[in-house]
Structure 1
Amino acid sequence: MKILFQGEEKLLPLLLDEEEHIQIRIAALNEMLFNSYVEERLLSFIHNFISTSSSKELQRFWYTTVKSLESSEHPRYTPNL
């Protein structure tokens, strides 16, 4: 997987580590989503990983985040019309 920004190489392993504390994992995900450019390919990877994760808390966080982005005015996640 291509590293897009310097922090991703540290944040993605935190998110993927099932043994890491859930708050650390959620913080890593949040940091990647809102403080960097995330390619669609990486978003798909994250979605697939979280969908099969054993962490229901991580799944709930992901669901509510994606739902909130639907109505977001954040420039990174606003569709270009």
Structure 2
Amino acid sequence: MLAAAGLLDERKATTHWMHADDLRRGYPRVTVDERALYIDEGDVLTSAGTAAGIDMCLALHSSSRASSAEMAEPAAPHRGS
């Protein structure tokens, strides 16, 4: 979807290795790196699959984009202990 919308043009992106050649053929303006778990291009992030997407989200949460107060907040504060 991102490639079809042109949002990956002239950017690096990753996808599951089984789909990397299709992405390359269909969208030659995208630099595909199927070896990466995830790629952060600033305003666009791509991951190589479901588990890699979780890794990407964890990295995003622990990056400088999240304040220390946000990081100290439990993921599900409504749950009791």
- What is the TM-score normalised by the length of structure 2? 0.36
More helix by share: 1
- What is the TM-score normalised by the length of structure 1? 0.36
More strand by share: 2
